[in-house]
Amino acid sequence: MHEPPEQNRTRALFDLIAIGLVIAILTTIHYTNYHYAVDYHILLQFAYYMPVIYAAMRFGPAGGILSSFVITLLFLPLMSHFQDTLTPAAKYTQWVEVGLINIIGWLTGFLSEEERKAKRKYKLALTVQKELVEKIKLEGQERQRLESEIRQTERLTALGHMSAGLAHEIRNPLGIMKVSIQMLAQEKGDDGDGVVTEYCRVLMEECERLNRLVSEFLSFARPKDPVRGRIRLGKLLDEGVTLIQPALRQSHIQLEQARDSVDDQEVEVDPDQIKQVFLNILLNAIDAQGEGGVIHLEGVQQDGFVGFAVSDEGPGISPDDLPYIYDPFFTMKEKGTGLGLSVVHRILDQHGGRISTLNRRDRGVRVEILLPYMA
């Protein structure tokens, strides 16, 4: 780990002072002990290698060269003092020692600097490797998401082509049945026990339910092309909240909002279709939560996208069911059609948006809707 600049400067100053003190102490011992034999000074001269080597290791070639040069300047007067008492071989040895101190200072500094460079290259390579691994991981996740969306789109397209004609064929006889039941109820409205009237009422309710199913099926199979317009996200959310208020009051649910950060952001969308997305998500949250509690609506921004997230306090979704919640006709509701989230997914695909659904850590589900951000 890199040290903070202030700490690094303090440590460098301490090391410089320590090196200087060692050199000063050794030189003082030399100059205050002239009376000792020359062999004593030659032996003490070896101690100069310690500060030179440390300076070279700590500060690189500059530290090694500078410290050895200073020692040479300090030691030369002492060598001159002993010149008359030294043999030619001893003189030659003294100059060799001085030369070795300088060479070792430079060589140690050079090798230390090369080691530092190698460490920096290794750390850089390690950092690049980690970044590449993370990038590959993210690309793998994105590829899996895209493959999932492609499979979803293929399933929806195939089902859409098949379902359009089938829905029309069902709707025609359904209309005839509905009219026939209404006529039968009018003719038998005065029956004594009301059995026929009750049966007619049940049949009418089932016809209405089938009609809603076919209508959703048709909107899913043949989606309208979006009529895009630039609009503030806050305006869309306000209109959606107004429409959902009766359902919230009926279920005694409080809606908490935290979306100031996205209210002024503009998106280019079909307002009616995005309101349909908003209502679908909110109605699912109300159904999942049941009576009472709080539903949270918050603004979301993420990498060129802006949108909203809805979090409920319901029981959540089974991990086994999560991969299939956008599939047509997959539902966990007793009277659900299984087309709501499929229609939402289709609308967001047309707008270049995204949807993600996750179980919350404590309880409930969080659904996040993202739309391309308009600068």
pLDDT range class, residue 365, cuts 50, 70, 90:
very high
- Give the three-state DSSP class for 311: strand
Residue 96 pLDDT:
75
Q: Determine the average pLDDT of the residues in 97-114.
A: 82
Identify which of 354, 172, 364 has the alpha carbon closest to the alpha carbon of residue 267.
354
More confident residue, 171 or 284: 284
- The pair of structure tokens assigned to 219 is 């909107």
State the pLDDT at residue 238.
92
Integer angstrom CA distances of residue 229 from 45, 175, 275, 368, 369:
87, 36, 13, 22, 18
pLDDT attached to residue 142: 85
Q: How confident is the model at residue 222 (pLDDT cuts 50, 70, 90)?
A: low
Q: Where are the alpha helices (DSSP H) in the chain?
A: 5-31, 38-45, 49-81, 88-187, 195-221, 233-250, 260-263, 271-289, 340-350
pLDDT digits (tens, 9 = 90+) for 170-218: 766 777 777 777 777 777 665 555 677 777 777 877 777 777 777 766 6
Residue 357 has pLDDT above 80, yes or no: yes
pLDDT at 168: 60
Classify strands 229-232 and 254-258 as parallel, antiparallel or unpaired. unpaired
For residues 234 and 346, the model is more confident at 234
| pLDDT at residue 197 in the model | 76
What pLDDT, on the 0 to 100 scale, is given for residue 145?
Answer: 81
Q: Evaluate if residue 251 carries a pLDDT over 70.
A: yes
Confidence check: pLDDT of 31 > 60: yes
Strands 305-311 and 365-372: antiparallel
Give the per-residue pLDDT at 44: 73
Residues 115-163 have pLDDT tens digits of 888 888 888 888 899 999 889 888 888 888 888 777 777 776 666 666 6
Residues 161-169: what's their mean pLDDT? 65
Q: For residue 279, is pLDDT > 60?
A: yes
